[in-house]
Amino acid sequence: MDISFFTDIANDLGESPVWDARRGWLWWVDIRHNRVIAADADGRVQRDWTFDCAVGSIGLADRGLVAAFVDHFALIDAEGAVQPLARPPIGTGAIRFNDGKADRQGRFLSGTMQQGGQEEALATVWRLDPDGNGTRVEAGMKLTNAICFSPCGNWLYLTDTLEGMIRRYSYDPQTGALCAREDFFDCARVGAPDGATVDAEGRLWVALVTTQRIGCISPQGELLRSIDVPVPYPSCPAFGGEDMATLYVTTIADSGHKLKSDHPDAGRMLAITGLDARGIAEAIYVPDNHT
């Protein structure tokens, strides 16, 4: 196994990496600076866009990206132009969209997070359908993370980071409906769960943000590996590269809240190889009105 740095960019709040095989680029966001960035496999920056509000998460779309901005979904085209889509009623005040991922059919799901320390659990999860409408699929959380899907698409993984339990839901690929929920893996003994992805074998790879590790969990909910990383606060992993065998990991230098580090490499992206694992290409969101 080898762990190296990918690009010289140090993000404040790096999140939502996604590999774009069409271009051979890795995309990710720096939420605190409203940035969406792309670099090729050699780490050369290809796009670096700054928007007028934060981007919580991104996915691939037929002509660029689909994004969950602070309070709405939108498309971002190849030149960085934004086309707003649904603006769901996620609540007012200190709440915004956070982690997100496409299901295997290309619908985009994103959950929200609370930033004001409210006692009531107000965060929700929304599904963006091809018709551009948003549907609420889960509620009663505070900080949604780890959204990803099993290889077959029949299971959705999701966590409330402050709760620490990774949940697994039976997911209907035809309708995008969440069905039965079960407790999948309790992170209390390994660290708070942040972003996550799956590999081709169905193993879940999750960023354990508070303990500086990446965990690999079997489809049966057993911890298989725990990998220490060389910088604090790993936030989200994604497989990519030509053979989908590199695990890219975003990290956090300053979340704007509790997570802040003075480590000289804080916020830099990691590239981990030699894991004997390969990822799965992410599905592409295609709006109904695109031909």
Domain CATH for 180? 2.120.10.30
Distance between CA 76 and CA 83 in Å, rounded? 6
Segment 193-206 shows an average pLDDT of: 98
Structural domain tally of the chain?
1
In this structure, is residue 141 part of a structural domain? yes
What tens digit of pLDDT does each residue of 96-116 get?
Answer: 999 999 999 999 999 999 986
In this structure, is residue 286 part of a structural domain? no
> Alpha-carbon torsion 102, 107, 108, 111, what sign?
negative
What tens digit of pLDDT does each residue of 8-54 get?
Answer: 999 999 999 999 999 999 999 999 999 999 999 999 999 999 999 99
Looking at residue 94, its pLDDT comes to 84
pLDDT grade for 120, boundaries at 50, 70 and 90: confident
Looking at residue 115, its pLDDT comes to 81
Three-point CA angle 262, 267, 268, nearest 5°: 120
In this structure, is residue 165 part of a structural domain? yes
In Å, how far are 16, 132, 198, 226, 241 from 271, measured between CA atoms? 14, 34, 16, 16, 10
In this structure, is residue 124 part of a structural domain? yes
Contact of 189 with 213, CB cutoff 8 Å: no
Segment 188-192 shows an average pLDDT of: 96
Distance between CA 135 and CA 85 in Å, rounded? 13
Percent of the chain with pLDDT over 70: 98
pLDDT grade for 173, boundaries at 50, 70 and 90: very high
> Reduced to 3 states, what is the DSSP secondary structure of residue 31?
helix
Distance between CA 247 and CA 225 in Å, rounded? 14
In this structure, is residue 73 part of a structural domain? yes
Instruction: Retrieve residue 116's tokens.
Output: 């004001």
221-230 long-range Cβ contacts below 8 angstroms, 24+ apart: 221/184, 221/185, 223/185, 223/190, 226/190, 227/1, 227/272, 229/3, 229/270, 229/272, 230/3, 230/265, 230/270
Looking at residue 257, its pLDDT comes to 83
**In the predicted structure, residue 265 carries a pLDDT above the cut 90:** yes
- Domain, as residue range, for 48: 2-273
In this structure, is residue 247 part of a structural domain? yes
**In the predicted structure, residue 258 carries a pLDDT above the cut 90:** no
Looking at residue 93, its pLDDT comes to 76
> Alpha-carbon torsion 268, 271, 277, 280, what sign?
positive
In this structure, is residue 287 part of a structural domain? no
What tens digit of pLDDT does each residue of 68-92 get?
Answer: 999 999 999 999 999 999 999 999 7
In this structure, is residue 230 part of a structural domain? yes
User: CB neighbours (10 Å) of residue 193?
Assistant: 29
Looking at residue 119, its pLDDT comes to 74
Report which of 81, 176, 80, 100 is spatially closest to residue 131, judged by C-alpha positions. 176
Return all residues near 283 (Cβ < 8 A) that are at least 6 apart: 60, 102, 103, 104, 105, 106
Looking at residue 204, its pLDDT comes to 98
**In the predicted structure, residue 291 carries a pLDDT above the cut 50:** no
**In the predicted structure, residue 280 carries a pLDDT above the cut 60:** yes
**In the predicted structure, residue 290 carries a pLDDT above the cut 80:** no
